[in-house]
Amino acid sequence: MKFVSCRQDWVADPCDVLVVALDDEWARRPEFQMIDRASSGWFARVMHSGEVSTKPNKVSVLIAPTGVPASVLAVVGTGSKSSTSCNTYFRAAGAAMRALASKQRDILRFVGFGNSPLETRAAICGAMVGAQGQDLFKSEKTTFAPATIQWVGANDAQIRAGEIIGESVNLARHMTNQPPNLMYPQTFADRATEVAKDAGFSIEVWDKERLEQERCGSLLAVARGSVREPRLLIFRYQGSPPDSEPLALVGKGVTFDSGGYSLKPTDGMLTMKCDMAGAANVLAIFNAIAKLKVRRNIIGVVGLVENLVSGDAFKLGDVLTARSGKTIEIHNTDAEGRLVLADCLNVALQENPTQIIDFATLTGACVVALGTDVAGLMSNNTQLQGDVQSFTEKCGELTWPLPMHSFYGEQIAGKVADIKNVGEGRWGGAITAAKFLEEFVQGRPWVHLDIAGPAFMDSPKPWCDAGGTGFLVRSFAEWLLA
């Protein structure tokens, strides 16, 4: 699938499908008027018939009339004109693409998607998301990406930027959708090595031996139950002079979370291939920033393990020593993500970052609190927290703050060790998990994003297939580009 800017007379030159976005004030849109004129009033009759909805993400596939040299005219609604945003166009483009992706097509031409460069990039990203499904292993595919997409109303540079961001979101989705028998620490590291080479950033891979030398006792404990050995990856991208301190991105990469001896029931375990979505996000954001050539120094750290049971797996009551030197008492082997991140955060600190942002499918409690469309946002720094909340909202990927008062931290005091890996009981579980992470950032400005809800969808949305979503990749690519 390739994107090109449409320089032709978009209503007169042939294509397979002409895709047009219309809001509730459609009669005033130039796109409507041009198609109406070309079709000698046919389009106005269709729109006035009330058969074509302009409600958000409603797609009407019409046989194109005489005068419009396409076989199909697809109309997608964007709802109320006064409330259009990045998300409006991301979703509308995704919904249109998903509706049209049911069969192989050659040239699609999109017109009317976005009123600003940010909205246009969101729409291009949406179209790419709509063209990729989770049908990875079906012998008969159900999603077909078109060969070419012609985009009306954006120049080559804007299109290229949107395409890079869309490719990155789809990379995160694809990796999350890979089944856990194929996606494990080593294969994740292999893929990351390819991505780094292609995009142009450096990667360092720590294997089990190196992790032992580095005394990553917390991460290694989680990994011990699996025959698949753990990895820790460090990404480095340099977009400004070497002496300017970097931003650090950290990701949870549990390629499968069985819960360990605190075993999950079948229903809860079924989708736990998604537990590496945080790590996939970090890799995908690196792909974007390196290809977009953002002017910042950024480092990434992801910890990759499989949380399984075996005769050698870590147990309840075990005491671990994290890389920072803190000792941790294990009260629940299913609270493993924070153990992996504890060592990753410590490795990140070594690079002297000005800010740290971590992405993790960390707690079911966060999903209970905020549902599946909003990520939990926890921080030790109100300024950074506010920045993250506002730009993710602007991009249409919602994050919402949870309180971080010190008394939550009292719940993780250890009995025989410094801290324990869960709070007292289940209440406030997203926050006690964040308090645990805070123990490992040494007061550096830090934001924790709990993406357990939005990183993976059990059922499809009109604009996106079920499975991995790449949630927040788009916002962070845009934030770092700005």
**Annotated active-site residue in 91, 228, 291, 338:** 338
Among 163, 229, 257, 478, binds Mn ion (CB under 5 A): 257
Running DSSP on this structure, what letter comes out for residue 107? E
Looking at the DSSP bridge assignments, the partners of residue 254 are 305
How big is the site for Mn ion, counted in residues (CB under 5 A)?
3
Among 337, 396, 428, 470, binds ligand BES (CB under 6 A): 337
Query: Which residues are CB-contacts of 379 (< 8 A; sequence separation ≥ 6)?
Result: 385, 388, 401, 404, 445, 446, 447, 448
Which residue type does 125 have? C
The yes or no reply on residue 167 touching Mn ion (CB under 5 A) is no
Q: Using CB under 5 A, which of the segments 20-28, 70-78, 327-335, 403-411 binds Mn ion?
A: 327-335
- Among residue numbers 241 through 280, which ones bind ligand BES (CB under 6 A)? 257, 275
Among 158, 226, 361, 380, binds ligand BES (CB under 6 A): 361
Write the binding mask 275 to 314 for Zn ion: x where contact by CB under 5 A, - elsewhere: x---------------------------------------
Among 23, 119, 167, 336, binds ligand BES (CB under 6 A): 336
Closest residue to ligand BES, judged by C-beta, is: 364
* Contact partner at residue 36 from Mn ion, Zn ion, ligand BES, none, CB < 5 to 8 Å by partner kind: none
E-strand stretches of 260-314? 297-307
**How many of the other CB atoms lie within 10 Å of CB of 156?**
12
Torsion sign over Cα 147, 150, 156, 157: negative
Cα dist from 255 to 46, 133, 235, 339, 399, whole Å: 50, 20, 19, 14, 24
Please list, residue by residue across 374-400, b when 16 or more beta carbons sit within 10 angstroms of its beta carbon and e when fewer do: bbbbbbbbeebbeebbebbbbbbbbbe
The residue behind tokens 């294997």 is 207
* Contact partner at residue 332 from Zn ion, ligand BES, Mn ion, none, CB < 5 to 8 Å by partner kind: ligand BES
Distance CA 435, CA 419 (A): 11
Which residue type does 41 have? G
**Annotated active-site residue in 160, 215, 236, 264:** 264
Cα dist from 43 to 2, 47, 56, 332, whole Å: 29, 6, 19, 62
Q: Has 138 been annotated as catalytic?
A: no
- Among residue numbers 410 through 449, which ones bind ligand BES (CB under 6 A)? 422, 429
Length reported for the chain? 482
The yes or no reply on residue 364 touching ligand BES (CB under 6 A) is yes
Distance CA 59, CA 57 (A): 6
Distance CA 150, CA 256 (A): 40
Closest residue to Zn ion, judged by C-beta, is: 257
Nearer to ligand BES (CB atom), residue 346 or residue 363:
363
Q: Using CB under 6 A, which of the segments 321-329, 364-372, 389-397, 399-407 binds ligand BES?
A: 364-372
Nearer to ligand BES (CB atom), residue 161 or residue 335:
335
Nearer to ligand BES (CB atom), residue 56 or residue 429:
429
- Among residue numbers 337 through 396, which ones bind Zn ion (CB under 5 A)? 337
Running DSSP on this structure, what letter comes out for residue 298? E
The yes or no reply on residue 397 touching Mn ion (CB under 5 A) is no
Q: Using CB under 5 A, which of the segments 85-93, 222-230, 252-260, 288-296 binds Mn ion?
A: 252-260
Please list, residue by residue across 402-418, b when 16 or more beta carbons sit within 10 angstroms of its beta carbon and e when fewer do: bebeeebbebbeeeebb
Q: How far is the CB of 255 from ligand BES (least distance, A)?
A: 11
Largest CA distance in the chain: 82
Q: How far is the CB of 21 from ligand BES (least distance, A)?
A: 33
Q: How far is the CB of 188 from Mn ion (least distance, A)?
A: 18
Among 332, 372, 381, 389, binds ligand BES (CB under 6 A): 332
Q: Has 264 been annotated as catalytic?
A: yes
Rg (CA), the chain: 24
Running DSSP on this structure, what letter comes out for residue 464? B
Nearer to ligand BES (CB atom), residue 109 or residue 273:
273
How big is the site for ligand BES, counted in residues (CB under 6 A)?
16
* Contact partner at residue 5 from Mn ion, Zn ion, ligand BES, none, CB < 5 to 8 Å by partner kind: none
The yes or no reply on residue 365 touching ligand BES (CB under 6 A) is yes
Distance CA 112, CA 102 (A): 22
3-class DSSP state of 457? strand
Nearer to ligand BES (CB atom), residue 15 or residue 422:
422
Cα dist from 202 to 231, 237, 238, 432, whole Å: 16, 7, 9, 34
Distance CA 301, CA 204 (A): 10
Sites of contact with Zn ion (CB under 5 A): 254, 257, 275, 337
Sites of contact with ligand BES (CB under 6 A): 257, 275, 332, 334-337, 361-365, 367, 422, 429, 452
Sites of contact with Mn ion (CB under 5 A): 257, 334, 336
Give the residue numbers marked as catalytic.
Answer: 264, 338
